[in-house]
Amino acid sequence: MEFEDFQIGPEIYGELLQGCVYERALHTGQQIHARILKNGDFFAKNEYVETKLVVFYAKCDFPEVAVRLFHRLRVRNVFSWAAIVGLQCRMGFSEDALLGFIEMQENGVFPDNFVLPNVLKACGSLQLIGLGKGVHGYVLKMGFGACVFVSSSLVDMYGKCGVLEDARKVFDSMVEKNVVTWNSMIVGYVQNGLNQEAIDVFYDMRVEGIEPTRVTVASFLSASANLDALIEGKQGHAIAILNSLDLDNILGSSIINFYSKVGLIEDAELVFSRMLEKDVVTWNLLISSYVQHHQVGKALNMCHLMRSENLRFDSVTLSSILSASAVTSNIKLGKEGHCYCIRRNLESDVVVANSIIDMYAKCERIDDARKVFDSTTERDLVLWNTLLAAYAQVGLSGEALKLFYQMQFDSVPPNVISWNSVILGFLRNGQVNEAKDMFSQMQSLGFQPNLITWTTLISGLAQSGFGYEAILFFQKMQEAGIRPSIASITSVLLACTDIPSLWYGRAIHGFITRHEFCLSVPVATSLVDMYAKCGSIDEAKKVFHMMSSKELPIYNAMISAYALHGQAVEALALFKHLQKEGIEPDSITFTSILSACSHAGLVNEGLNLFADMVSKHNMNPIMEHYGCVVSLLSRCGNLDEALRLILTMPFQPDAHILGSLLTACREHHEIELGEYLSKHLFKLEPSNSGNYVALSNAYAAAGRWVEVSNMRDLMKVRGLRKNPGCSWIQTGGKLNVFVAGDGSHPKTEEIYAMLAMLLSEMRFMGYVPIASNEENLCSRAQKFIHGFK
DNA sequence: ATAGGGTTAG
């Protein structure tokens, strides 16, 4: 028998093509295709072979050829339709897939259980819940509900459309479930933020004894990461290892994401280092994790390494880089990032655009932020909120409010974050009543104030000098059942400092202890500050010594406390101790220690420290540092040198530093210079009562009592609050009455008696006199007595 | 049929 006698039919080629589909062997399949064509029409025009060719090219993702062959088909059966719909689905052409689904029915071909999963997938990705429900009806009518592939796709479709109740109904009604069914349910919950439900389904699945796959574990890890669920996530990692799941990019990324979100960066780094192949997502995860934990240097280093692995930055990488620029106010890096986005066409991405706007805002370039905002076409809620927050931050409440109305005009309804920013904007601009008004408006419109709303108010009120109201809001927050955060506690402590009220301060301290808040560094720092400023250095010391591991901020607070109480020796000792502990002092430390020297009149120590700060610690002095030195120089009567320093320092003098010189003018009877400085000061800060007090004191020192009482009237007219310094004006005023009364010199005892009265009056007004108040008053009184003798 | 990453308020 001759070999040629075997008749090889067209079906054999169909089988061969099917083999190529399984193997995804494009090249072999193309050779078979060539042979079919060579063999002539009997083979090439066979319906089975033609269909198989379409299926082959479709499965091998060769859309041009697949579609061309499909259009040439004389008979389009359910198999070729399924191949084309599936191809369009895989290529992301969901609309075309659905058009195919409709067209096949118009041509009398009934979709089968191979087409339906793709159709449902297309409905899901387009979120066409109406059509999806229609397909669901078709599935039930045609009896495909029992097919686990179809029903799992229904679960997925409902999940993608956000209708979790229906996804669950389909899921629960399924008699036969496989791991994909379970996975689809878990994924549906995770993607819709129902993380706890996802975890519950995962546990049910374990009880049923279904072996998890990479998909299961990856989704479970996402849910754990979103819930900060440490134990669950670690279990997920353990399951991945115990089941010897392949650590591919997706599973690996999920593990890294989990560790990053719960703050275990070292573990994230370890998993990263063990991954054999990494893609842009893997790198981005570690980069954004570094940025979120303010390790910008490490993040940028990772960017360089990523580039050396020949991976391109994408929009996610860029939003991390721009965030890094924002948190460090690095405008140079930010602009480079912005340029990169323009070159690579990434600015059209809303998240990237948002990061660019935020970057410019945080680098104090609000006009540039606005320009970028105006250039965007697609504006989501976050984008509006970012610009709103930028205006609020700097107290441009009018702009913020305009934006708040404009976003509603553009049909973007504000959320709690938007309301919080508007409130913040008012508070930063000193518009306390407007802020409170917005607070009640938001509630009447059905928005529940959250922790940040309350904290914004408490902090804003405390900073604007409404200490009592701040404390009241803190109490109201408890009544609303919101547990305070560290930020709200430090804010309410600031409120106690503002009043100042040792009584409330102690009450808040008691609250902290009762509610078992751990004495964290920021809380302890605020407590030290509060006790010091409310007059109890002993309690400040007690809190300070309670902290076992001390960090720089609490040292700074304690040094500043000693400075305030005139205990410069203790401040200097603590300053030395901190350096012995190996802690490098910062700019704030020097502000405190210099002010201690300045209050105690330790001229040489202060000048030496100032010199050390510049030469040994390589720091650029800020206004406060100059202020202390100016005050030191003034104190020893070196007004010329103080003025020279002000004129040569690298910035315009602020009200505080001029005020400090003004105070010196009082001490040294330089009334002309004092008046000259005052003119500038009232221009700079017309509402700073300290300036009025300082000038009044200068007048008082010169015995010009008419001007003293004029200044008091001026303060009254301008609605300025009385502060502890005002008592000194009164002292001057009353001394004058003494002197003028019968022409005799005032007696020491009587003056002291009067000072005692003043101190009790201060207490009555709610001020807790601190040691320096008493010392100041007494020493000044003595000077007067000498002056009058 | 199912899977991973980035943005806003104190």
- The pLDDT of residue A120 is above 60: yes
Helices (H), A344-393: 350-362, 366-375, 381-393
* Structural domain contains residue A268: no
CA distance A585 to A570: 16
The three-state secondary structure class of A491 is helix
Which nucleotide C1' is nearest A216 CA? Answer: B3
**What are the distances in angstroms from CA A400 to CA A371, A384, A407, A418, A426?**
16, 10, 11, 9, 9
* Structural domain contains residue A769: yes
User: What would the mean pLDDT of A107-125 be, rounded to a whole number?
Assistant: 93
Distance A270 CA to B6 C1' (A): 22
CA distance A343 to A614: 42
- The pLDDT of residue A656 is above 90: no
Closest to A315 in 3D by CA, of A339, A349, A269, A268: A349
For residue A755, what pLDDT is reported? 58
Distance A443 CA to B9 C1' (A): 17
Measure the CA dihedral A197/A203/A208/A211, to 10°: 110
CB within 7 A of strand B (chain A, 685-714): none
* Structural domain contains residue A780: yes
- The pLDDT of residue A735 is above 60: no
Measure the CA dihedral A71/A154/A207/A242, to 10°: 40
Q: What are phi and psi of A770, to 5 degrees?
A: -100, 170
How many percent of chain A have pLDDT more than 90?
A: 64
- The pLDDT of residue A160 is above 70: yes
Which nucleotide C1' is nearest A323 CA? Answer: B7
CA distance A780 to A381: 59
Tally of domains within chain A:
1
What predicted TM-score, i.e. pTM, was given to this entire model? 0.79
Tokens 């008082």, residue located = A700
CB within 7 A of strand B (chain A, 58-117): 86, 117
Reported as a single tens digit per residue, the pLDDT across A381-439 is 999 999 999 999 999 999 999 999 999 999 999 999 999 999 999 999 999 999 999 99
Distance A432 CA to B10 C1' (A): 16
For residue A31, what pLDDT is reported? 83
* Structural domain contains residue A783: yes
> Contact at 8 Å (CB) between A374 and A387?
no
Reported as a single tens digit per residue, the pLDDT across A314-331 is 999 999 999 999 999 999
For residue A785, what pLDDT is reported? 45
Strand B contacted by A279 CB (< 7 A): yes
CA distance A470 to A486: 15
> Contact at 8 Å (CB) between A122 and A131?
no
pLDDT bucket at A739, cuts 50 / 70 / 90: very low
**What are the distances in angstroms from CA A556 to CA A248, A538, A575, A611, A617?**
49, 16, 9, 19, 16
Name the more confident of A706 and A492: A492
Closest residue by C-alpha to C1' distance, nucleotide B5: A281
User: What would the mean pLDDT of A303-320 be, rounded to a whole number?
Assistant: 95
Amino acid identity at A61:
D
Amino acid identity at A51:
T
Helix (H) / strand (E) containing A531: helix A521-533
Q: What angle do CA A501, A505, A510 make, to 5 degrees?
A: 150
* Structural domain contains residue A744: yes
Tokens 């370039």, residue located = A365
Closest to A423 in 3D by CA, of A463, A467, A456: A456
> Contact at 8 Å (CB) between A343 and A355?
no
Strand B contacted by A18 CB (< 7 A): no
- The pLDDT of residue A768 is above 70: no
**What are the distances in angstroms from CA A722 to CA A104, A692, A727, A733?**
85, 11, 8, 15
DSSP secondary structure, A255-304, as one string:
HHHHHHHTT-HHHHHHHHHH-SS--HHHHHHHHHHHHHTT-HHHHHHHHH
Residues sharing a CB contact under 8 Å with residue A741, sequence separation 6 or more, in sequence order: none
CA distance A303 to A317: 8
Residues sharing a CB contact under 8 Å with residue A130, sequence separation 6 or more, in sequence order: none
* Structural domain contains residue A732: yes
CA distance A190 to A691: 59
- Dihedral angle sign, alpha carbons of residues A205, A207, A208, A212: positive
Reported as a single tens digit per residue, the pLDDT across A13-71 is 777 777 777 777 778 888 887 788 788 777 778 777 888 787 788 777 787 888 888 88
User: What would the mean pLDDT of A763-784 be, rounded to a whole number?
Assistant: 54
Inter-helix orientation angle A214-226/A195-207, to 10°: 140
Sequence length of chain A is: 789
Reported as a single tens digit per residue, the pLDDT across A434-490 is 999 999 999 999 999 999 999 999 999 999 999 999 999 999 999 999 999 999 999
How far is C-alpha A63 from the chain's CA centre?
45
* Structural domain contains residue A737: yes
CB within 7 A of strand B (chain A, 234-253): 248-253
* Structural domain contains residue A745: yes
Q: How many CB atoms lie within 10 A of CB A440?
A: 10
- Mean of per-residue pLDDT scores for chain A: 87
- Choose the weakest-confidence range: A125-139, A207-221, A337-351, A633-647: A633-647
CB within 7 A of strand B (chain A, 631-650): none
The DSSP symbol for A46 reads -
What tokens appear for A265 in the block?
A: 């960066």
Which nucleotide C1' is nearest A253 CA? Answer: B4
Strand B contacted by A376 CB (< 7 A): no
Domain that holds residue A768: 722-789
